[in-house]
Amino acid sequence: MEIVGFDPTLSGVQREVAEHVALAYATCPRCGQRDPATVEELRKDRRNIAILTYGVMLGIAVGSYFVPWIAIGFFALMLVPFLVELVRRPRARLVVHVGFSLGWLVLACMFSRYAFVLPAVAIIQLVLKRSDPEEADRPFREGAAKLRFL
């Protein structure tokens, strides 16, 4: 087995780490199996991220029912990186995204009694957004491109 496209300047330890990562995402050339430990680890990672995201959103939804500024402040903060990116490299999609988000924030400020609708909508969007199998497969595809079995 050989790893393709390795940086020849890597030190021994760096090379070992890179090999370890490449092997973790390898697919068996005979039976097409993936490393069960890696698959399990990725599943756990996804689950933990989902629990954290839903937990935070639910907390914000409940909290902002009583203190509307929690939701307004949170979504305003979430918008900051998009604003920075918009100033750096303006793109049509970004303008639309920031525009809509600002619109929602202005509405939330005007009708702050209903600011909890923002995180509630975010939760619904999370539920509706199916996980992308292409995206989940990406590290394995990259791993397969890197490994050559001799």
Q: Smallest distance from the beta carbon of 4 to Zn ion, in angstroms?
A: 20
C-beta closer to Zn ion: residue 68 or 143: 143
Query: For the chain, how many residues are written?
Result: 150
Phi then psi dihedrals of residue 3, to 5 deg: -100, 125
Q: Could you say whether residue 31 binds Zn ion (CB under 5 A)?
A: yes
Cβ-based neighbours of 149, under 8 Å, separated by 6 or more: 1, 2, 29
Piece of 22-30, 40-48, 91-99, 133-141 that binds Zn ion (CB under 5 A): 22-30
Of the candidates 28, 67, 84, 124, which one interacts with Zn ion according to CB under 5 A? 28
Of the candidates 20, 30, 88, 129, which one interacts with Zn ion according to CB under 5 A? 30
- Which residue, 110, 47, 101, is CA-closest to 74? 101
C-beta closer to Zn ion: residue 30 or 130: 30
Strands (E), the chain: 2-3, 147-148
What is residue 46's three-state secondary structure?
helix
C-beta closer to Zn ion: residue 37 or 92: 37
Q: Could you say whether residue 106 binds Zn ion (CB under 5 A)?
A: no
C-beta closer to Zn ion: residue 30 or 88: 30
Record the tokens describing residue 87, joined without a space: 């100033």
Cβ-based neighbours of 10, under 8 Å, separated by 6 or more: 18
Piece of 2-10, 27-35, 74-82, 104-112 that binds Zn ion (CB under 5 A): 27-35
**Separation between Cα atoms, residue 137 and residue 129, nearest integer Å:** 17
Piece of 3-11, 17-25, 31-39, 126-134 that binds Zn ion (CB under 5 A): 31-39
Chain residues that interact with Zn ion, rule: CB under 5 A: 28, 30-31, 33
